[in-house]
Amino acid sequence: MSTRQAERLPYNSQGVIVDLAEMIASRKQKPDLRKKVHEVPHKPGVYLMRDRFNRVIYVGKARDLRKRVSSYFLPSKLAQADLKTRAMLEATWDFETHVVRSEAESVLLEGKLIKEYRPRYNVSFRDDKHFLLVKVDLTEEWPRFRLTRLRKDDGARYFGPYAHAGALRQTLNFMRKKFGVLTFGRGAPTERELKSATYQVPMRLSEISAVQYRERVGQACEFLEGHSREMIATLEEEMRKAAEKQDFERAAELRNMIEDLRNTTRSTRRFTRGSLPRAVDPLAEVQTLGEVLQLPSSPRVMECFDISNISTTHVVASMVCFRNGVPDKNCYRRYRVRTVVGQDDFASMAEVVRRRYSRILLEAREANPDAAEFSQENPADALERRSTINYQPSTTFVRLPDLIIVDGGKGQLSAACRELQRLGLHDLPIVGLAKEHEEIYRPGWALPLRLPQDSGALHLLQRIRDEAHRFANAYHRLLLRKRIEESILDDCPGVSQHRKNLLLREFGSVKRLRRASVAEIAATEGIGPKLAGEVHRFLQRH
């Protein structure tokens, strides 16, 4: 190759000749990732940023993946970011997310991926440092529980890894007092340890044999394996009694201890090469959910209801729709509960379910009144038949969902089922998802269904339930904010409740009323020019 020919070849920033694939990739148009963000769940996990050559350039963890990832693509984020973050965002052409079961698991997975990919924009975890493990060598005469960072094939038992080092150390302190086991150090107990009251459970180390001590070690090992529910329940009862006696310092100490024990003994997966949690696959999750619930077909259209009654001022509800496992926001609905006094989730759920599906059936009858007058056909079958026969490209038919989900347990599910039966929709599949233990309640089943935490079907149910909760709370906040804005008129001289209602009915909101001129306000029925001027001046000052 001549010197002149070599000068024509493209080089990258490192002075290396760029190959054909890299040249083609460099000419691609950068995709807009803001739409993809809406598919990310509100769950803990890790996210990987990739460049235009599909190389991982950054790995991060998040308690809420949707919030964290979406924050990167806000215009304000790029404007306020430091040089490193700005360069990373400009180089990002795609991202992927991996959901885990807890925040601790996200820390472990983040460290594992950074060590594997060594992304250019990551600093932490790029060295050889590992998470802490607990090691106990049962071949020793007096086994001790020690901290280590490397797992060796030496016959010893290892527990972990643990993402919370502080919680782990506090747990070892608890084990010393509760089980009377030795921690740190090596060999037989020292003279000081033999006499110490710390190891008196119920006898000191000096009063027991090595065989008796090994029984304590066995109990401590079971505790680290996760058999800690009864012990934590005992501590919770002790915390409650301390609070009743107003010994708040002791109650706070017990609360922190309980949290440390839960962080340490909670079941946590070990992530090895090739064991990445799978990314969200909506269609696969829909199919799995149909199989788990034993539905006649996959629930491609699902509607979920949630009640928001943070206060009795406004009790509202939401209905969100998922189609093929992803949100269909055009079909979202929100409701102000009308017939229920006070906070009654069961009655509120019954009202919104009745309003939703009675409206669908009414619209279907109005579209075909002759067929509906003397028909004995099941309403769900009739609606499906009419939408199929009368389908035209320009006409949109509202169809019944393949699955209804209510946020709540037996009470909410029973209330919704009664309304469906009154409407003749006996066969419409419906389940309730109780949040505390993520239990699935089904009509006619005495016991709830519990799915594994890593089940795609459960993740799909949680995603639609969380979206319904978010939508309901957003509507609740909107009404509260509107009520606060409207209350400013109560302080305006000369504006009675009747005149306030007239103004709000005419202009729709205080914000629009504030932009109106004196003449426009005076044109409202029941509002004269003098009062209009006072209202205008009052709103400009406030």
**What DSSP assignment string belongs to 151-195?**
--SSS-EEEEEES-HHHHHHHHHHHHHHH--EESS-SSPPHHHHH
Both tokens of 424, joined, read 């003749």
Identify the CA nearest to 470 among candidates 332, 330, 325, 279.
332
Between residues 140 and 412, the one the model is more confident about: 412
Question: What's the whole-number mean pLDDT along residues 433-446?
Answer: 87
d(CA 41, CA 107): 18
Q: Name residue, tokens 């998040």.
A: 62
Burial of residue 114, with CB atoms counted within 10 A of its CB: 0-12 exposed, 13-18 middle, 19 or more buried: buried
d(CA 280, CA 98): 8
SS3 (DSSP) at 304: strand
Residue 6 has pLDDT above 70, yes or no: no
pLDDT at position 21 is 46
Identify the CA nearest to 112 among candidates 268, 279, 277, 273.
273
Strands 56-62 and 132-136 come out as unpaired
pLDDT at position 266 is 57
Angle among Cα 288, 290, 293 to the nearest 5 degrees reads 105
With a CB cutoff of 8 Å and minimum separation 6, the contacts of 111 are 124, 125, 131
Q: Are 38 and 67 in contact (CB under 8 A)?
A: no
Confidence of residue 265 (pLDDT cuts 50, 70, 90): low
Confidence of residue 430 (pLDDT cuts 50, 70, 90): very high
Question: What's the whole-number mean pLDDT along residues 159-168?
Answer: 73
**pLDDT tens digits along 84-129:** 788 888 888 888 888 887 776 777 788 778 777 778 887 655 444 5
pLDDT at position 45 is 87
With a CB cutoff of 8 Å and minimum separation 6, the contacts of 337 are 307, 309, 315, 316, 317, 348, 351, 352
Region of poorest pLDDT, from 188-197, 255-264, 506-515: 255-264
Summary count for the chain: helices (H), strands (E):
22, 15
Residue 278 has pLDDT above 70, yes or no: no
Region of poorest pLDDT, from 11-20, 327-336, 346-355: 11-20
| HSE value, Cβ hemisphere, 13 Å, CA-based, for 104 | 22
Question: What's the whole-number mean pLDDT along residues 446-450?
Answer: 88
Q: Are 230 and 222 in contact (CB under 8 A)?
A: no
Answering whether pTM is above 0.85, one says no
pLDDT at position 291 is 92
DSSP 36: H
Whether omega before 202 lies within 30 degrees of 0, making that bond cis, reads yes
pLDDT at position 274 is 45
| HSE value, Cβ hemisphere, 13 Å, CA-based, for 54 | 3
Rg (CA), the chain: 32
Q: Which alpha helices (H) appear in 374-455, and where do they start and end?
A: 379-389, 410-422
Lateral strand order in the sheet of 56-62: 56-62, 45-50, 94-99
Report which listed range, 286-300, 330-344, 462-476, is most confident: 286-300
Domains of the chain, start order: 3-117 (3.40.1440.10), 132-265 (no CATH), 283-371+378-386+397-470 (3.30.420.340), 492-541 (1.10.150.20)
Q: Are 429 and 295 in contact (CB under 8 A)?
A: yes
Residue 393 has pLDDT above 50, yes or no: no
Question: What's the whole-number mean pLDDT along residues 498-503?
Answer: 79
Q: Name residue, tokens 């029925």.
A: 525
**pLDDT tens digits along 210-221:** 888 888 888 788
Report which listed range, 72-76, 198-202, 523-527, is most confident: 523-527
Q: Which amino acid is at 501?
A: N
Region of poorest pLDDT, from 74-88, 147-161, 397-411: 74-88
Residue 325 has pLDDT above 60, yes or no: yes
d(CA 66, CA 51): 20
Both tokens of 225, joined, read 């394996």
DSSP3 helix / strand / coil % (the chain, rounded to 5): 50, 15, 35
Report the mean per-residue pLDDT for the chain.
77
Residue 12 has pLDDT above 80, yes or no: no
431 phi, psi to nearest 5 deg: -140, 160
